[in-house]
């Protein structure tokens, strides 16, 4: 039967299927081997060696899957549904890799790939934790690779294979007019001739951020498995304290990468989405932020546990829940449950049941192990002292958890609605809760940020166990005063006067100043141990950047223009129409839309900005932005903003609509045609308030068959003379027309006849006047100024550097006791 179809490239797909099978089988073998290798006995070493071999084979197979899929996309083998759905012939090479994360299969593959790489790293240096940790990593690999199996049983869907052929795929979603649809009826054997091109990659993914953001974020997701595996191994092996030392560098690595991934997502949104900002509390964004918050909280609690022995249980809970939240987030965004609330949630591809089962599998293993060990986990009888570092660090972690809870609860409202409806408790609970406005998030997260800033500033000055509060107070006093002075300066610089914002500004500044102080005063500038403080400085800067750019954001295209008789809130009028070549005031700029350069489906709409110094009348600033609008046949308008970056502010512009979108509308060059009658000496007011006078009708020939009409057109600029020639041949008027100097008004002569009024020898002229259609080429633009958004990006870089300094320090610590990688 396979030979029936012509021109298919089945070899590569079969290799891919084989690689998937090996990936799954080898990870299963690795799982079993590592379980036995974790138990004491004679066979321990043999099992470990088997497990390691299995994992390496697994790794090679994962690379083989990636290679096969890439070759299929690169060679445009559209007989494979993945290539058909996610790529097209005109897709630039650099975006081919982005096809991997448009589809579910590709995303799981990416995740699988990163976890495999991390597993290989762990296997490099063997110690007593290696086998039990690898058990959980191998288990996760079994789970993830099963998502790619694509085995359909009657009662369950086991994954979805990226190597599925188009003709094997459930084709109901494909265009019914496409011949492939009839493939099951085997009506055509050479169907590939009929497939001219693939469906193409979502234009939002055709962006350089989308090449680097998903792999980073997925490495962040994948890396949370390692601290999780350490915690689970510790519970399983009943070795409750030692795991913290080898797990700490991994936790720091994970926090650094996941944090980078989240902020890269924000940058992508800022650079290429048109919602006007870097964060919209969208479920997909929230789903990646929440695990980061619990991970950072877990990191701090791990440090408490390591240094004092307190809070070990909390460390277990937070580190394991981080990984479970990653699974939950994947479930939320991939199961289709968020479709009513998020613009970019995925639709259900039939994998949500499997995802749910796997999530529950890990939840149950986690709960079973925690419950079994709960009473055995050592907890100190002594209480934490009030003036100790661990107590305030613990409070800080709780605040982070609180923040995470608010976000995840709110994001999960659709799940809540569904549960209420499923359990039939609609009479008791409200099943129609909709997500709140962004404002609600901001109002709750603001006091949380205030607390976090404050705790970040002061906590390091306390010592573990107990400290002299007077001494702490003395060393903090100077930084407190410096921060107040800086805050006052910032209030005037940033023009932030709202007391809530000023409070947050102060604690964020205090966090930065306090930690700079800690590095210079306490650590004496020792770089190698300054990781925490550097990270905190970066975090403080991020908070300042978020606060100032969000609260100081100003829509430049907002105007106070209200239509007569129309009630309109001036604040809501945020869009401005720019007709081609007509200058408009936007903020302190004079903006002119200069035209559309069209490359394929992409329209690059040039908007020229000029800033004129009113005193000297000189142009002090000049730039052209090219916000991009893609008139996508499948998605309508996809607008990519263009931003002018300065050190202290960004001018962000994006198109909300443009003339190229509506081919039916405004196609005519000339609009508002009007017929007027005029005779010599008469004056008429035209529809555009210009005045037209027919000065004279001059016969050009003896027979009176040729005339010249002399008009005067009067407008605001002055007068101009318009001459129109007209000829009558065989009693028929030949069409003639004239256009004014500015090419704004057109006159078409349609009739000329002797005056009906008796006793007059005049001629009556009938003209059609029409006006240049300004709306032929226009854009509707939104321009926003974001001040100091660079503080957020710079703060992120500094924070990540801090995480890595700490990572290297903790890795040295772990290696010193023979537990490091």
Partner 1 sequence: MKTNRIILLVFMATALGIILFLFNKNSEYVSFKEAAISGNDVHIVGVLNKTKPMEYDPAKPNHFSFYLTDTLQETRQVIYDNPKPPDFDRSDKIVVSGKMEGAYFHADKILLKCPSKYNTDKEKKTE
Considering only 107, 224, 286, 384, the residue that binds partner 1 (CB under 8 A) is 384
Interacting span for partner 1 (CB under 8 A) from 145-153, 466-474, 560-568, 743-751: 560-568
Partners of residue 637 on adjacent β-strands: 631
- Minimum Å gap between C-beta 432 and partner 1 is 4
Phi (first) and psi of residue 737, to 5 degrees = -150, 165
Total residues contacting partner 1 by CB under 8 A comes to 60
Considering only 208, 409, 497, 623, the residue that binds partner 1 (CB under 8 A) is 409
Interacting span for partner 1 (CB under 8 A) from 158-166, 257-265, 539-547, 633-641: 633-641
Considering only 188, 503, 575, 706, the residue that binds partner 1 (CB under 8 A) is 575
DSSP 665-717: TT--SEEEEEEEEEETT-EEE-TTS-EEEEEEEEE-STTS-EEEEEEEEEETT
CB 607 within 8 A of CB 658: no
Closest by CA position to 308, among listed 235, 379, 373: 379
Task: At 273, list the tokens.
Answer: 């989405």
Considering only 11, 124, 154, 177, the residue that binds partner 1 (CB under 8 A) is 177
Task: At 497, list the tokens.
Answer: 């006067």
Task: At 558, list the tokens.
Answer: 């907002």
Phi (first) and psi of residue 446, to 5 degrees = -65, -50
The residue (of 573 and 728) whose beta carbon lies closer to partner 1 is: 573
The residue (of 360 and 434) whose beta carbon lies closer to partner 1 is: 434
**Between β-strands 618-625 and 589-599, what pairing exists: parallel, antiparallel or unpaired?**
unpaired
Considering only 210, 355, 402, 454, the residue that binds partner 1 (CB under 8 A) is 402
Considering only 307, 406, 442, 475, the residue that binds partner 1 (CB under 8 A) is 406
The residue (of 188 and 406) whose beta carbon lies closer to partner 1 is: 406
Interacting span for partner 1 (CB under 8 A) from 233-241, 339-347, 645-653, 689-697: 339-347
Considering only 386, 425, 477, 493, the residue that binds partner 1 (CB under 8 A) is 386
- Minimum Å gap between C-beta 623 and partner 1 is 23
Residue 495, Ramachandran bin (φ over 0: left; ψ between -120 and 50: alpha; else beta): left
Cα separation, 532 vs 414, in Å, equals 38
- Minimum Å gap between C-beta 476 and partner 1 is 18
- Minimum Å gap between C-beta 661 and partner 1 is 6
Interacting span for partner 1 (CB under 8 A) from 562-570, 588-596, 692-700, 717-725: 562-570
145-174 positions binding partner 1, by CB under 8 A: 172-174
780-809 positions binding partner 1, by CB under 8 A: 780
N- to C-terminal Cα separation, the chain: 52
The residue (of 373 and 575) whose beta carbon lies closer to partner 1 is: 575
The residue (of 391 and 711) whose beta carbon lies closer to partner 1 is: 391
661 part of the interface to partner 1, by CB under 8 A: yes
636 part of the interface to partner 1, by CB under 8 A: yes
- Minimum Å gap between C-beta 579 and partner 1 is 9
664 part of the interface to partner 1, by CB under 8 A: no
Cα separation, 687 vs 675, in Å, equals 10
479-508 positions binding partner 1, by CB under 8 A: none
Interacting span for partner 1 (CB under 8 A) from 29-37, 359-367, 397-405, 760-768: 397-405
Considering only 488, 673, 775, 817, the residue that binds partner 1 (CB under 8 A) is 775
Closest by CA position to 79, among listed 226, 194, 227, 240: 194
Considering only 45, 126, 343, 478, the residue that binds partner 1 (CB under 8 A) is 343
CB 584 within 8 A of CB 781: no
Cα separation, 99 vs 204, in Å, equals 12
Considering only 212, 359, 363, 395, the residue that binds partner 1 (CB under 8 A) is 395
Considering only 69, 269, 351, 413, the residue that binds partner 1 (CB under 8 A) is 413
What kind and span of H or E run contains 632? strand 628-632
The residue (of 296 and 576) whose beta carbon lies closer to partner 1 is: 576
Orientation angle between helical segments 283-308 and 209-223, nearest 10 degrees: 40
The residue (of 405 and 425) whose beta carbon lies closer to partner 1 is: 405
The residue (of 373 and 466) whose beta carbon lies closer to partner 1 is: 466
414-473 positions binding partner 1, by CB under 8 A: 430, 432-437, 440, 444
DSSP 366-423: HHHHHHHHTTTS---SSPPPTTSHHHHHHHHHHHHHHHHHHHHHHHTHHHHHHHHHHH
Cα separation, 65 vs 63, in Å, equals 5
202 part of the interface to partner 1, by CB under 8 A: yes
- Minimum Å gap between C-beta 384 and partner 1 is 6
Interacting span for partner 1 (CB under 8 A) from 333-341, 469-477, 533-541, 762-770: 333-341
Partners of residue 712 on adjacent β-strands: 693, 721
745 part of the interface to partner 1, by CB under 8 A: no
684 part of the interface to partner 1, by CB under 8 A: no
- Minimum Å gap between C-beta 172 and partner 1 is 7
The residue (of 127 and 341) whose beta carbon lies closer to partner 1 is: 341
Task: At 78, list the tokens.
Answer: 């559209």
Other C-beta atoms lying within 10 Å of the C-beta of residue 456: 25
The residue (of 492 and 561) whose beta carbon lies closer to partner 1 is: 561
Other C-beta atoms lying within 10 Å of the C-beta of residue 67: 14
Interacting span for partner 1 (CB under 8 A) from 327-335, 458-466, 656-664, 715-723: 656-664
230 part of the interface to partner 1, by CB under 8 A: no
Cα separation, 225 vs 323, in Å, equals 6
Task: At 214, list the tokens.
Answer: 């998903």
Task: At 435, list the tokens.
Answer: 């997500």
Long-range contact set of residues 241-246: C-beta below 8 Å, sequence gap at least 24: 241/305, 241/309, 241/312, 241/378, 242/819, 243/129, 244/302, 244/305, 244/306, 244/315, 245/306, 245/810, 245/813, 245/814, 245/817, 245/819, 246/127, 246/129, 246/814, 246/819, 246/820, 246/821
Q: What is the 3-state secondary structure (H, E, C) of 251-266?
A: HHHHHHHHHHHHHHHH
Half-sphere exposure of 820 (CA within 13 A, CB side): 12
- Minimum Å gap between C-beta 637 and partner 1 is 3
The residue (of 616 and 689) whose beta carbon lies closer to partner 1 is: 689
Task: At 379, list the tokens.
Answer: 């907890």
Q: Which residues bind partner 1 (CB under 8 A)?
A: 85, 172-178, 199, 202, 339-341, 343, 347, 383-386, 391, 395, 398, 402, 405-406, 409-410, 413, 430, 432-437, 440, 444, 563, 566, 568-569, 572-577, 634-637, 656-657, 659, 661, 665-666, 775, 778, 780
């Amino acid at each position: 039967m396979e030979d029936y179809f012509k021109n298919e490239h089945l070899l590569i797909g079969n290799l891919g299927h084989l690689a998937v099978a090996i990936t799954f089988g080898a990870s299963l073998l690795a799982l079993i081997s590592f379980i036995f290798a974790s138990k004491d006995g004679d066979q321990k070493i043999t099992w470990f060696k088997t497990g390691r071999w299995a994992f390496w084979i697994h790794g090679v197979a994962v690379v083989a899957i990636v290679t096969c899929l890439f070759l299929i996309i690169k060679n445009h083998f559209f007989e494979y549904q993945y290539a058909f759905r996610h790529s097209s012939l005109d897709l630039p090479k650099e975006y081919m890799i982005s096809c991997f994360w448009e589809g579910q299969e590709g995303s799981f593959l990416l995740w699988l790939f990163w976890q495999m790489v991390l597993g290989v790293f762990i296997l490099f240096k063997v110690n007593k934790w290696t086998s039990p940790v690898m058990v959980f990593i191998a288990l996760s690999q079994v789970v993830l690779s099963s998502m790619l199996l694509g085995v359909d049983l009657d009662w369950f869907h086991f994954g979805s294979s990226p190597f599925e052929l188009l003709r094997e795929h459930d084709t109901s979603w494909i265009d019914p007019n496409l011949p492939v649809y009839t493939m099951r009826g085997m009506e055509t054997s050479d169907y590939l001739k009929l497939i001219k091109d693939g469906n193409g990659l979502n234009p939002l993914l055709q962006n350089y951020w989308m090449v680097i953001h998903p792999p980073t974020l997925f490495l962040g997701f994948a890396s949370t498995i390692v601290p999780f595996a350490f915690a689970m191994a510790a519970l399983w092996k009943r070795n409750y304290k030692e795991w913290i030392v080898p797990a700490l560098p991994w936790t720091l690595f994970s926090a650094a990468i996941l944090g980078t991934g989240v902020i890269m997502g924000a940058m992508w949104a800022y650079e290429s989405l048109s919602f006007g900002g870097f964060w919209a509390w969208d479920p997909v964004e929230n789903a990646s932020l929440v695990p980061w918050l619990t991970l950072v909280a877990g990191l701090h609690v791990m440090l408490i546990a390591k240094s004092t022995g307190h809070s070990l249980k909390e460390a277990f809970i937070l580190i394991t829940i981080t990984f479970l939240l990653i699974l939950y987030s994947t479930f939320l965004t991939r199961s289709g449950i968020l479709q009513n609330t998020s613009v970019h949630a995925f639709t259900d591809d039939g994998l949500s049941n499997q995802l749910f089962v796997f999530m529950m599998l890990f939840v149950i293993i986690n709960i079973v192990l925690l419950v079994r060990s709960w009473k055995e986990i050592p907890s100190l009888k002594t209480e934490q002292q009030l003036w100790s570092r661990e107590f305030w660090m613990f409070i800080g972690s709780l605040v982070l958890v609180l923040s995470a809870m608010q976000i995840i609860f709110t994001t999960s409202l659709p799940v809540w609605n569904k549960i209420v409806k499923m359990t039939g408790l609609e009479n008791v609970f409200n099943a129609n809760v909709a997500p709140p406005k962004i404002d609600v998030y901001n109002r709750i997260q603001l006091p949380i940020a205030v607390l976090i800033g404050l705790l970040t500033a002061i906590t390091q000055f306390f010592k573990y166990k107990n400290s002299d509060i007077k001494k702490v107070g003395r060393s903090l006093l100077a930084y407190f005063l410096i921060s107040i002075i800086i805050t006052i300066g910032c209030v005037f610089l940033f023009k932030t006067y709202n007391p809530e914002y000023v409070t947050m500004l102060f604690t964020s500044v205090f966090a930065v100043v306090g930690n700079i102080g800690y590095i210079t005063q306490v650590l004496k500038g020792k770089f190698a141990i300054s990781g925490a403080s550097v990270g905190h400085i970066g975090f403080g800067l991020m908070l300042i950047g978020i606060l100032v750019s969000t609260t100081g954001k100003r829509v430049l295209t907002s105007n106070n223009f209200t239509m007569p008789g129309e009630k309109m809130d001036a604040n809501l009028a945020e869009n401005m129409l720019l007709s081609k070549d007509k200058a408009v005031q936007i903020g302190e700029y004079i903006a002119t839309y200069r035209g559309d350069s069209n490359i394929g489906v992409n329209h690059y709409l040039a908007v020229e900005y000029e800033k004129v110094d009113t005193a000297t009348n000189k142009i002090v600033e000049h730039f052209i932005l090219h916000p991009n609008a893609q008139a996508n046949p499948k998605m309508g308008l996809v607008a990519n903003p263009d931003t002018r970056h300065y050190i202290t502010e960004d001018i962000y512009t994006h198109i909300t609509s443009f003339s190229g979108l509506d081919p039916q509308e405004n196609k005519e060059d000339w609009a508002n045609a009007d017929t007027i009658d005029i005779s010599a000496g008469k004056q008429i007011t035209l529809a555009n308030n210009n005045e037209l006078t027919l000065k004279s009708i001059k016969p050009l020939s003896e027979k009176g068959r040729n005339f010249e009409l002399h008009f005067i057109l009067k407008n605001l600029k002055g007068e101009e003379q318009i001459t129109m020639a007209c000829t009558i041949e065989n009693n028929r008027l030949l069409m003639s027309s004239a256009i004014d100097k500015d090419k704004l008004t057109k006159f078409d002569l349609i009739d000329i006849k002797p005056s009906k009024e008796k006793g007059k020898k005049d001629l009556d002229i009938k003209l059609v006047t029409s006006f240049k259609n300004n709306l032929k080429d226009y854009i509707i633009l939104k321009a926003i100024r974001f001040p100091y958004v660079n503080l957020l990006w710079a703060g992120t870089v500094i924070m990540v550097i801090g995480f890595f300094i700490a990572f290297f320090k903790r890795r040295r610590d772990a290696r010193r006791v023979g537990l490091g990688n």
